[in-house]
Amino acid sequence: MAKPSPSPSSAPLKIGYSISLSGPLGANGQSARLAHEIWEEDVNRRGGLLGRRVQMVAIDDQTNASLVPGIYARLLDVDKVDLIIGGYGTNTLLPAMPIVMERRRFFVGLMGLGVNSQLDYPNYFVMIPTGQNPNAALTEGVFELAAAQQPRPQTVALLAADAEFAKNPVLGGQENARRYGLHIVAEELYPLSTEDFAPIIRKLEALAPDVLFICSYLDDSIGVVRAITGRGYAPRLVGGSMIGPQSAVVKTTLGPLLNGFVNYEYWLPVPKMMFDGAREFMTAYQSRALKEGVDALGYYTAPMAYAQMQVVEQAITATGGLEDEKLAEYTRRKTFKTVVGDVAFGRHGEWAESRVLQVQFQNVSGHGVEQFKDPRTQVVVAPSDWASGELIYPYAKAR
């Protein structure tokens, strides 16, 4: 028998958060926000939480970290929300931590990298499958792939945006290059304002690294890929840690120029990853995405955002209340059933086990978005437990 809907007279259970709905991270934040809205509708259809209708209170931080502390102060002191969660990315989560820690709040964030590694706050959790060594885990797959190829690559160049989000992946890239025996021949940083990447690519091409490891944002991913393909530059393996090719806008802008690039993902609709509820959620998301002007595919942030709220929902239901310490204690020791699979948290609130995918673009033809719903255009090549196909190597062959 279905649960009764919450009484309209009861006060809503408010869950508040800061999230980037505009600015450089706006596209990913908007995708996450739609996922949260779908969860909100789903949970209220089931009767809400604790007999109360759930109301998500999202405030745009404009991808401006300086606005985040004030937003959380407003949510707690003015809006009087019952719970707070974290928005998308390190840029939003890290500046929230001082007030979260001061107020001893239960805090589940979305896809921040290494936010709690130094703070060691026990009530922090994050939906990102990078495991307990996040810097290394995010970048290890591409280096492990490189080391397994014949002829074995010997050298690597690191190309990264000179921005906060790139610092941890670059450190991970350095660590994994040493671990897998690749000699670093260059570490090139560029400002996010860069528009012409041709001079940078010419410089790296002259050094002839076997592997070009890239850590870029959304718009600069487009510029970097165009500069590489425009010159016909073909290292043996290229890609790694680009925040951009996960986005439908970047995919459709670049189209076949992406063929051969290797990059990380957290979830894709390949057979091995169709966990309970995943298909239904993605159908609901994609049916609304175009109409609402958000990422048409949603594979990157949307499933993790929905799973983030499933964790919160299950913790509230199991503890029967909203006490921050009880919610945190429960979350530290339990495994959660979500649309991205079973999730358990380890030290610093990261996932207990790493599950970062390495994906190679293959068979991309033209610029239509529908083709990217076909798993053959985004082939999971590592780790082997989740693989949906084989790596085409070297990169020139995949192009």
The string of DSSP letters for 45-61 reads: HTT-BTTB-EEEEEEE-
Whether the model pTM is above 0.85: yes
Q: Tell me: the pLDDT tens digits for 128-137?
A: 999 998 888 8
Straight-line distance from the first to the last Cα atom of the chain, in angstroms, rounded to the nearest whole number: 55
Max Cα distance, the chain (Å)? 70
- Looking at residue 192, its pLDDT comes to 87
How distant, in Å, are the alpha carbons of 62, 72, 175, 273, 323 from that of 89? 13, 16, 22, 23, 25
132 neighbors 113 (Cβ within 8 angstroms):
no
How distant, in Å, are the alpha carbons of 70, 239, 255, 284 from that of 249? 31, 18, 10, 20
Which residue in the block uniquely carries the two structure tokens 């890609």? 239
Distance between CA atoms of 250 and 372, rounded to whole angstroms?
12
Read off the pLDDT of each residue in 12-23 and give the average, rounded to a whole number: 97
Count of CB atoms situated within 10 Å of the CB of 287: 9
Read off the pLDDT of each residue in 214-240 and give the average, rounded to a whole number: 95
Kindly report the CA angle at 323 between 319 and 324, in degrees rounded to 5? 110
Q: Is the dihedral of CA 164, 165, 166, 170 positive or negative?
A: positive
Q: Is the dihedral of CA 289, 294, 295, 301 positive or negative?
A: negative
Banded model confidence at residue 257, pLDDT cuts 50, 70, 90 = very high
Instruction: Give the pair of three-digit tokens for residue 93.
Output: 């989560």
Q: Tell me: the pLDDT tens digits for 309-347?
A: 999 999 999 999 999 999 999 999 999 999 999 999 999
318 Rama class: left (phi>0) / alpha (psi -120 to 50) / beta: alpha
Banded model confidence at residue 2, pLDDT cuts 50, 70, 90 = very low
Where do the domains of the chain lie, and which CATH numbers do they carry?
Answer: 13-129+274-349 (3.40.50.2300), 134-265+362-398 (3.40.50.2300)
Q: Tell me: the pLDDT tens digits for 360-399?
A: 999 999 999 999 999 999 999 999 899 999 999 999 999 8
Q: Is the pLDDT of residue 5 over 70?
A: no
- Looking at residue 168, its pLDDT comes to 81
